[in-house]
Chain A
Amino acid sequence: MPHTHPETELHNPQSAKPPLDPHLKALENEAIHIFREVAAEFERPVMLYSIGKDSSVLLHLARKAFYPGRVPFPLLHVDTGWKFREMIAFRDEMVEKYDLDLVVHTNPRGAAENVTPFTHGSALYTDIMKTEALRQALDAGQYDAAFGGARRDEEASRAKERIYSFRTPDHRWDPRNQRPELWNIYNGMVRKGESVRAFPLSNWTEVDIWRYIQAEEIPIVPLYFAKKRPIVERDGMMILAEDPRLEMLPGEAKREEVIRFRTLGCFPLTGAIRSNANTLDDIISELETATVSERQGRAIDRDQAGSMEKKKREGYF
């Protein structure tokens, strides 16, 4: 029987955009190729969804890769309980809008032992609420592949990460013994319990991410755009002061400033920047003249030299 159906079924209504420039197109093609390859080769893939700008791009690419089908794997959000309020609202809106399957996991130990970034320090808090929580969630779902939005340009230890990054059953990464990765041929063979982290955005830079968000009109959390917001200054960082759980320490005072965020994580550990950039054009031109990297606002990177590599060996994303 011939398969006939109206053209309109296939035509995406939001397609009146100019074509992507060849640079972004090449990055997009590569990412779609990786998404399809992982979805085809693994039994239980999952996409780690952090709600940030890179995750937004990742989600958009996943939708493109499987169109006209729906995204064939769930999104996993490791919720520390200390994310920005606007991130959670945005997450739920995306899930509804794009008909996604969402799994949210919070480490039960966090609630039981009342682990907070204030009481336990950023290193221990991150270890329990992010690294340990991620392992719990991956084990519970028996996922054999997890997509992540990491980029090689983010941090020195990531420059050598493969696109398929092999993990042992206890989620460890061995940087000295990675599988060679030639051409675009990916080795997806794993034993039971082993897994890979797959990074479709490996070759993207921060500017690429923003230019792609602009070109493709991808929705992102409004915290990336400058606005007058309540803040408090602590340890040299400007922290958003809207959550009632944030207690003022002696000598601290809330004030309002026009700020925005370059990266989003847990609000007590994420520093804002002073900026008036409230459009994508502004953000991109700010970035092109920026003299500091995006991870500068991340408290967890500064704990010790090689801290990101250590976290990654232990299973942090």
Chain B
Amino acid sequence: MTAPAIATAALDETAVALPVQEPARVARDSRPLRLITCGSVDDGKSTLIGRLLWDTKAVKEDQAASLERDSNGKQNDLGLPDFALLLDGLQAEREQGITIDVAYRYFSTDKRSFIVADTPGHEQYTRNMATGASTADLAVLLVDARVGLLEQTRRHATIATLMGIRQFVLAVNKIDLTNYDRSRFEQISHEFKELALSLGVRQVTAIPVSALKGENVVYDGRASMPWYEGPTLIEVLELATTRSAQTVGFRLPVQRVSRPGESFRGYQGTVAGGSVKPGDSVVILPSGMVANVTKIVTFDLVRNAAVAGDAITLVLDRQVDVSRGDTIAAIDSQPMTGLAFDAQLVALQPEGIQPGKRYWLKSGSRRQRVQVQPISQLDLNSGKWNHADELPMNAIGKVHLTFDEQAIFDAYEQNRTTGALILIDPDTNNTVAGGMITAKRAALSGIHTEDSRVILSLPADLADQLMATEIFANRREDAEVRRVTAARAIEIVDAIDE
């Protein structure tokens, strides 16, 4: 074939010109941080995200020019374009003046890149927040310094916690409008830390911010707030950790079986927990057959090991029956298998979740029929779980899941991949719920009956540790753990003693 030399030629020239020397650009050694921003239009959320994009130079001149064109020259006090226009991508939203869905934004610094899930703050859009929070490592909660915490703040923090987020940043915005009132900031951040603690979240940073003026977002606000010595928002984001380590053993949900020829049979999927190396003994679930790993194949090379997040092809030492939807797992640390599980659901569609209806459930690469029985619904304002027979849209509820065929899960608190699920309505094919597995239910009920279970009130750190154990995960029906502060625990005990 006589086509001209393609662009690899240019690459080769580069290689010759720069034999060993690496370019000055340092390869970032961090994975992208995924975060969610929660707050309402009034709190200045669009301005905060716009400020992040603007100050990290993620907005280009032509985009800014089209912003100014669209806003008819409307600008904020500082001569910057209206950031909300930059973010509200869809015409329908511009007409209504609100964001109605989850949008993803990208920006980066020298140290790291970031993916922001931007979701609306109105109560009826719990579903969007749950969607954005499902993949987030960290939540930025936004409050107006003049107003302080709202019911909404508690709701957002609760949803973020349920979805597995364990790092919070509280951005106390519009601090300039309080005359940079230090005691006001300290009061709000104290209240928020109490709130976070009651939800079991201990990694909390509060920052006084003026998104409009760009203070303590990317650049520090020392000139206006010499009393604040903490980090800027971007500094916190740069140092945050990505998805907390999955505490379970090796998991590979099999996406497809690769059989390019008679001589090769490999199982393709993304490692959903733990690690694997040639020689490891594995079990195939639900069949329970056992095999050993002989090779980890990727396009680039045959690897010595693979870890969570790696997309691999696994070769086993014997011919076993493995198909899409099966899970290959460490033999000494297996997930739960069974026909009945407990889960928490977020109802995402107007039809809600109907009792007894059979849905499709998808988790990892496995899709199967499930019957759903709602048990209780969370009151986001009080934090209490109330009895419920069905779940309306935007409700968060506890449910029983019953399967015809063996299901395979970890508890969501132990693995955010193998513990997560979606429900699909077979009538509409739409995604109607997102769910988090809490525990496996024994075929025969345990010591408890429906409404009587042991309640343990424990300091938050102890509660976390206890709930992270496998033994507790399997007895979740028997006991309920409430996280309280030490002071509250003393009060409770005193009350019992009286």
Same assembly: yes
9-residue interface stretch from B20-28, B227-235, B284-292, B486-494: B20-28
How many chain A residues touch B (CB < 8 A): the figure is 88
**In the complex the two chains form, what is the Cα distance from A181 to B117 in whole Å?**
12
**In the complex the two chains form, what is the Cα distance from A189 to B361 in whole Å?**
12
- B266 to A: closest C-beta gap in Å: 8
B362 pairs with A187, CB closer than 8 A: yes
Instruction: Provide the residues of chain B in CB contact with A183, threshold 8 Å.
Output: 134-135, 416-417, 420, 422, 434
A309 pairs with B6, CB closer than 8 A: no
**In the complex the two chains form, what is the Cα distance from A21 to B29 in whole Å?**
6
9-residue interface stretch from B35-43, B293-301, B376-384, B469-477: B293-301
Residue of B nearest to A294 (CB): B60
9-residue interface stretch from A67-75, A119-127, A245-253: A67-75
Q: Among the interface residues B135, B260, B311, which one has the most CB atoms of the partner chain A within 10 A? A: B311
A36 pairs with B268, CB closer than 8 A: yes
B92 pairs with A220, CB closer than 8 A: no
B60 pairs with A290, CB closer than 8 A: yes
A180 pairs with B260, CB closer than 8 A: no
A152 pairs with B104, CB closer than 8 A: yes
Instruction: Provide the residues of chain A in CB contact with B360, threshold 8 Å.
Output: 189
**In the complex the two chains form, what is the Cα distance from A96 to B130 in whole Å?**
46
**Does residue A153 face the partner (Cβ distance < 8 Å to B)?**
yes
**Does residue B498 face the partner (Cβ distance < 8 Å to A)?**
no
Residue of A nearest to B254 (CB): A40
**Does residue B70 face the partner (Cβ distance < 8 Å to A)?**
yes
Interface of B is mostly: mixed
A219 pairs with B103, CB closer than 8 A: no
Residue of B nearest to A282 (CB): B14
Instruction: Provide the residues of chain B in CB contact with A288, threshold 8 Å.
Output: 25
**Does residue B73 face the partner (Cβ distance < 8 Å to A)?**
no
**In the complex the two chains form, what is the Cα distance from A182 to B36 in whole Å?**
13
Residue of B nearest to A203 (CB): B115
Residue of A nearest to B425 (CB): A189
* A189: contacting residue among B91, B131, B429, CB under 8 A: B429
- B11 to A: closest C-beta gap in Å: 6
Residue of B nearest to A32 (CB): B311
**Does residue B127 face the partner (Cβ distance < 8 Å to A)?**
yes
Mark out the residues of chain A between 262 and 316 whose CB falls within 8 Å of any chain B CB in the assembled complex: 278-281, 284-285, 288, 290-293, 295-296, 305-306, 309
Mark out the residues of chain A between 78 and 118 whose CB falls within 8 Å of any chain B CB in the assembled complex: 86, 89-90, 92-93, 96
Mark out the residues of chain B between 90 and 104 whose CB falls within 8 Å of any chain A CB in the assembled complex: 90-92, 100-104
**In the complex the two chains form, what is the Cα distance from A28 to B362 in whole Å?**
23
Mark out the residues of chain A between 212 and 236 whose CB falls within 8 Å of any chain B CB in the assembled complex: 214, 217, 219-222, 224-225
Instruction: Provide the residues of chain A in CB contact with B4, threshold 8 Å.
Output: 86, 89, 222
**Does residue B13 face the partner (Cβ distance < 8 Å to A)?**
yes
**Does residue B496 face the partner (Cβ distance < 8 Å to A)?**
no
**Given A182-B420, A203-B106, A309-B89, also A293-B60 (CB < 8 A):** yes
A29 pairs with B8, CB closer than 8 A: no
Residue of A nearest to B70 (CB): A305
- A238 to B: closest C-beta gap in Å: 16
Instruction: Provide the residues of chain A in CB contact with B301, threshold 8 Å.
Output: 11-12, 15
* B309: contacting residue among A29, A176, A180, A295, CB under 8 A: A29
- A223 to B: closest C-beta gap in Å: 9
**In the complex the two chains form, what is the Cα distance from A67 to B27 in whole Å?**
27
**Does residue A254 face the partner (Cβ distance < 8 Å to B)?**
no
* A185: contacting residue among B5, B302, B311, B363, CB under 8 A: B363
* A182: contacting residue among B25, B89, B134, CB under 8 A: B134
Q: Give per-residue flags for B355-371: 1 if the beta carbon is below 8 A from chain A beta carbons, else 0.
A: 00000101111000000
**Does residue B238 face the partner (Cβ distance < 8 Å to A)?**
no
**In the complex the two chains form, what is the Cα distance from A36 to B364 in whole Å?**
12
B416 pairs with A5, CB closer than 8 A: no
Q: Which residues of A contact B (CB under 8 A)?
A: 3-5, 7, 9-12, 15, 17, 21-23, 26-29, 32-33, 36-37, 39-40, 63-70, 86, 89-90, 92-93, 96, 152-153, 155-160, 175-176, 178-185, 187, 189-191, 202-203, 205, 207-208, 214, 217, 219-222, 224-225, 278-281, 284-285, 288, 290-293, 295-296, 305-306, 309
- Beyond A155-B89, A305-B69, 7 additional contacts (C-beta under 8 Å) are A152-B106, A180-B348, A183-B134, A183-B420, A222-B10, A295-B62, A305-B66
Q: Which 8 A-B pairs have the closest CB atoms?
A: A156-B89, A69-B260, A32-B311, A64-B299, A293-B60, A182-B134, A182-B434, A67-B299
What are 8 sample pairs from A and B whose C-beta atoms fall under 8 A apart? A33-B270, A68-B297, A69-B259, A69-B260, A160-B102, A183-B422, A222-B4, A284-B25
